[in-house]
């Protein structure tokens, strides 16, 4: 295949560390690419008043595919205090560059696979019949709508008169909240559009077909949240009937799903949810496969922009370690999602096999896999470093 150009966005803290390791693995696996570094994160907030400079947006716009580490976000007052003195009181306001990327490129589809590796000591186990212990292998892919729902920012405390009057036209609002003083009202809206809802469902169904998952489960709450969850469920039935008859369509409520996921996680394949419940479901399932050191993700727009990133943050407390202890697998797995997306199937499966062999062998384990509390001493107590984990994966790629 032709040489690729990949934008790398290391960001802050351990984002920088794990992204470097992912690129080492990609190189070792024979992936032919130029990496163009993009500025993003805290340093650029401090020095320029913008954690997502326009030049970075342009770079992503041009090359379409980005590997992203993680960024640090801080509360508004801390952000202000750390801004370069020459920029203070000039109207700069911190906002998360991840949210910025999502909004700018309309990255409305978020994919979070949660697949357990055999031999991972962090895998979920449960009691079977008698005194047996079972370790169900989880292979779930969560499709989370990424731009709407409760995260769209359409909300008020003490709503303006026009908005208040509009709410009063709803009989249930009038009945239940009509006698609450307007300044005592906080309202966050949950907006779903037909277009974005259909897109996340289509993405889920297509993934199920392409990768052989037998079911798509819509994880919302349509019996109570009738309009928005109801829209998703209705569209899911239509899409399944017209285009994916061979794929089973299931409906779970988010609350029940949180209970069932420890009872029968192996029964789920593709899960589709709105932004809020998708966020919850993906963290919950990630917990079954080893947590933040293993949870990878991808975000896609409708016009070909794709950003691949681990779901963990910048873990500032581990960023300054002389020898890094964090697990690079979530980032390396995110790079595998990128390879899959651009059809580099062989390199992708080589890397996944290498990770699987390292985990199953169990000789090289980062501190999280050893169930240790993260501190520098873990390295003397049997845990491997970030680089040692990467080295082990690269070693397996060679033979
Ligand atoms: P975090 O994900 O950075 O860290 C939480 C804890 O998870 C860590 O203290 C560590 O114990 C563990 N952990 C995370 N990644 C790990 C890895 N690769 N290997 C082993 N253990 C790992 O979340 P936290 O502490 O809530 O946030 C820290 C900063 O990161 C904040 O500024 C936050 O805003 C930002 N953040 C950024 C995200 C992103 O860039 N996508 C996502 C979440 C948080
Ligand atoms: Mg989350």
Looking at the CA of 312, which ligand is closest?
1
User: Binning pLDDT at 50, 70 and 90, where does residue 152 land?
Assistant: confident
The pTM score is 0.96
259 and 229, same structural domain?
yes
Distances in Å between the Cα of 116 and the Cα atoms of 75, 90, 292, 334, 370 are 35, 49, 13, 15, 16
163 and 23, same structural domain?
no
Q: 95 C-alpha to center of ligand 2: Å?
A: 17
Ligand 1 within 6 A of CB of 98 = yes
147 and 159, same structural domain?
no
131 and 229, same structural domain?
yes
Ligand 1 within 6 A of CB of 315 = yes
pLDDT at residue 399 greater than cutoff 90: no
Looking at the CA of 70, which ligand is closest?
1
Q: 129 C-alpha to center of ligand 1: Å?
A: 37
272 and 177, same structural domain?
no
N-terminal to C-terminal alpha carbon distance within the chain = 23
55 lies in a domain?
Answer: yes
pLDDT at residue 333 greater than cutoff 80: yes
Distances in Å between the Cα of 172 and the Cα atoms of 54, 97, 149, 177, 186 are 45, 38, 20, 8, 16
Domain that holds residue 178: 155-188
Ligand 1 within 6 A of CB of 313 = yes
DSSP 365: -
H or E element at residue 125: none
Model confidence pLDDT, tens digit, residues 312-332? 999 999 999 999 999 999 999
Ligand 1 within 6 A of CB of 385 = no
**Atom 1 of ligand 1 has which residue's CA nearest to it?**
313
**Atom 28 of ligand 1 has which residue's CA nearest to it?**
315
Give the β-pairing of 133-134 and 65-70.
Answer: unpaired
116 lies in a domain?
Answer: no
Q: Render 142-169 in DSSP notation, one character per residue.
A: EEEE-SSBTTS--EEES--HHHHHHHHT
351 and 337, same structural domain?
yes
State the average pLDDT over residues 339-347.
97
Q: 279 C-alpha to center of ligand 2: Å?
A: 5
| Distance from C-alpha of 23 to C-alpha of 8, rounded to nearest angstrom | 9
3-class secondary structure for 244-303?
A: CCCCEEEEEEHHHHHHHHHHCHHHCCEEEECHHHHHHHHHHHHHHCCHHHCCEEEEECCC
Domain stops at, among 288, 307, 324? 288
State the average pLDDT over residues 192-209.
98
Mutate to test the pocket of ligand 1, among 121, 315, 355, 385 (most ligand atoms within 8 A of CB): 315
CATH of the domain at 237: 3.40.718.10
Residues 6+ apart with CB under 8 A from 23: 8, 35, 67, 335
1 and 74, same structural domain?
yes
Query: Biggest alpha carbon distance in the chain?
Result: 72
State the average pLDDT over residues 89-104.
92
Domain stops at, among 266, 288, 310? 288
115 lies in a domain?
Answer: no
Give the β-pairing of 109-115 and 296-300.
Answer: antiparallel
| Distance from C-alpha of 196 to C-alpha of 202, rounded to nearest angstrom | 10
53 lies in a domain?
Answer: yes
302 lies in a domain?
Answer: yes
255 and 147, same structural domain?
yes
**Atom 30 of ligand 1 has which residue's CA nearest to it?**
313
388 and 332, same structural domain?
yes
Domain stops at, among 288, 310, 333? 288
pLDDT of residue 89: 86
321 and 379, same structural domain?
yes
178 and 201, same structural domain?
no
312 and 377, same structural domain?
yes
Q: 57 C-alpha to center of ligand 1: Å?
A: 24
33 lies in a domain?
Answer: yes
83 lies in a domain?
Answer: yes
Model confidence pLDDT, tens digit, residues 233-271? 999 999 999 999 999 999 999 999 999 998 999 999 999
Q: Where are the alpha helices (DSSP H) in 212-253?
A: 228-243
Count structural domains, the chain. 3
Ligand 1 within 6 A of CB of 326 = yes
117 lies in a domain?
Answer: no
User: Binning pLDDT at 50, 70 and 90, where does residue 2 land?
Assistant: confident
List the one residue out of 204, 195, 191, 192 whose CA is nearest residue 282. Answer: 204
Ligand 1 within 6 A of CB of 253 = no
State the average pLDDT over residues 204-209.
98
């Amino acid at each position: 295949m032709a040489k690729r150009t990949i934008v790398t966005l290391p960001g802050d803290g351990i984002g920088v560390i794990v992204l470097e390791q992912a690129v080492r693995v990609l190189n070792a696996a024979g992936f032919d690419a130029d990496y163009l570094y993009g500025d993003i994160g805290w340093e650029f907030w401090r020095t320029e008043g913008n954690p997502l400079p326009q030049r970075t947006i342009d770079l992503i716009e041009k090359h379409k595919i980005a590997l992203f580490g993680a960024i640090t976000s801080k509360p508004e007052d801390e952000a202000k205090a750390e801004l370069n003195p020459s920029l203070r009181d000039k109207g700069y306001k911190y906002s998360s560059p991840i949210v910025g990327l999502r909004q700018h490129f309309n990255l409305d589809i978020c994919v979070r696979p949660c697949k357990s590796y055999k031999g991972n000591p962090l895998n979920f186990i449960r009691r079977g019949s008698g005194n047996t212990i079972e370790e169900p292998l989880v292979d779930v892919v969560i499709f989370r709508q990424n731009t709407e729902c409760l995260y769209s920012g359409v909300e008020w405390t003490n709503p303006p008169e026009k908005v208040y009057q509009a709410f009063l036209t709803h009989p249930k609002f009038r009945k239940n909240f009509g006698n609450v003083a307007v300044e005592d009202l906080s309202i966050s809206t949950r907006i779903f559009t037909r277009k974005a809802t259909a897109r996340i469902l289509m993405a889920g169904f297509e993934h199920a077909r392409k990768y052989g998952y037998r079911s798509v489960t819509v994880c919302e709450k349509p019996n109570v949240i009738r309009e928005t969850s109801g829209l998703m469920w209705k569209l899911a039935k239509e899409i399944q009937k017209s285009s994916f008859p061979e794929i089973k369509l299931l409906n779970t409520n988010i609350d029940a799903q949180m209970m069932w996921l420890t009872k029968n996680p192996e029964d789920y394949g593709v899960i589709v949810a709105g932004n809020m419940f998708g966020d919850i479901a993906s963290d919950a399932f990630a917990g079954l496969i080893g947590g933040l050191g293993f949870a990878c993700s991808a975000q896609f727009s409708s016009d070909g922009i794709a950003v691949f990133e681990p779901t963990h943050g910048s873990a500032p407390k581990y960023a300054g370690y002389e020898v890094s202890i964090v697990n690079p697998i979530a980032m390396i797995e995110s790079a595998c999602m990128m390879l899959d997306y651009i059809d580099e199937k062989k390199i992708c499966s080589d890397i996944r096999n290498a990770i699987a062999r390292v985990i199953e062998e169990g000789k090289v384990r980062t501190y999280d896999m050893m169930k240790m509390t993260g501190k520098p001493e873990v390295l003397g107590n049997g845990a491997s470093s970030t680089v040692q984990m990467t080295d082990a994966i690269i070693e397996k790629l060679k033979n």
